[in-house]
Amino acid sequence: MILETKHLTKKFGGNIAVKHVDFSIEQGKVNAIIGPNGAGKSTFFNLITGVHPPTEGQIFYKGEDITKLPANKIALLGMARTFQTTNLFEMSTVFDNVIVGHRLRTKSNLFDAIFRTKRLKEEEERCKEKALEVLEFTGLANVSDQLVANISQEEKKRVAFALALATDPEIVFLDEPTAGVNPDETEELSLLIKKMAEQGITVCLIEHKMQMIMSLADHIMVLNYGEKIAEGTPDEIKNNEEVIKAYLGG
């Protein structure tokens, strides 16, 4: 298990967004989290990636307790994420978005920054190479010089993936990566997610599109009102009565 949560709980005032969730993410697999709107899926990601501190419970990454680590420290451990709404610099190029995202996430020390040391220059060179590599991988090489404002919604989703991949993550958390794109584009993004997993990157994604999840995921966890109500393979989940009830509002 690359990542585990134990009794993970988050309360916002009197509202329990995530309730005693025990979850394990298997290395190299595609792990999906599904559930109705407001089920606590994004909050669960926010807890794991250090955006919010949990109210109760623990998070372990490769056996190490990371419950109290801030987001920047967690990112340095090899975890990257995308957000439900992509926050890109619309008036910058695709390439520059990836470069800036990469810089924000890598440590640069003040001495290097002020004196523009050889080390810093080498690091900038590596950063550019990495950006080119992830733009190639995500199928964006041909739009790398375009302003983000001028590319399609699907390409913007790919830029979000590229930003996450630029940090060489071991695990990526994707929050509704195909929201707002059409079925053909969803299929394309699905293939890209599959390609990430084939590269050995562990994927954990939140999705609403059932057909996509069923063909993509190795393991699915279902949240409802903050609680885990089921988990298993796509086949197990498809036939689970609790899950059917939650989705039909029964």
Kindly list the residues in this chain that would bind Mg ion in the complex (CB under 5 A).
41-42
Using CB under 6 A, count the residues that bind ligand ADP.
11
Q: Are 24 and 198 in contact (CB under 8 A)?
A: no
> Binds 54, which of Mg ion, ligand ADP, none (CB < 5 to 8 A, cut-off by type)?
none
Per CB under 6 A, does 17 bind ligand ADP?
yes
Identify what 57 binds: ligand ADP, Mg ion, none; CB under 5 to 8 Å per kind: none
At 237, list the tokens. 């989940």
- Which letter, b or e, does each residue of 112-146 get, where b requires 16 or more Cβ atoms within 10 Å of its Cβ? eeeeeeeebeebeeebeebbebbbebbbbeebbee
Instruction: Copy the structure tokens of residue 8.
Output: 């993970």
Give the number of C-alpha atoms closer than 13 A to the C-alpha of residue 109, restricted to the C-beta side.
5
- Amino acid letter for position 203: V
User: What is the rounded radius of gyration, in angstroms, for the C-alpha atoms of the chain?
Assistant: 19
* The only residue of 43, 49, 138, 186 in contact with ligand ADP, by rule CB under 6 A: 43
Q: How far is the CB of 42 from Mg ion (least distance, A)?
A: 3
State yes or no: residue 15 binds ligand ADP (CB under 6 A): yes
Q: Which amino acid is at 70?
A: P
Figure out which of the listed residues 9, 21, 32, 35 binds ligand ADP, where binding follows CB under 6 A: 35
How far does the chain reach from its first CA to its final CA, in angstroms?
A: 34
Closer to ligand ADP by Cβ: residue 12 or 115: 12
43: partner contacted, choices Mg ion, ligand ADP, none (Cβ within 5-8 A by kind): ligand ADP
Q: Closest distance between Mg ion and the C-beta of residue 200, in Å?
A: 27
Q: Which of 30, 40, 159, 205 binds ligand ADP (CB under 6 A)?
A: 40
Question: Please, which residue, 53 or 149, has the CB nearer to ligand ADP?
Answer: 53
Residue 242 CB, shortest distance to ligand ADP, in Å, is 16
Q: How far is the CB of 212 from ligand ADP (least distance, A)?
A: 17
Is residue 42 at the binding interface for ligand ADP, with CB under 6 A as the rule? Answer: yes
Q: Compute the distance between CA of residue 66 and CA of residue 208 in angstroms, rounded to an integer.
A: 28
DSSP conformational letter for 12: E
Q: What backbone phi and psi angles, to 5 degrees, belong to 32?
A: -115, 150
Binding-site ranges for ligand ADP (CB under 6 A): 12, 15, 17, 35, 37-43
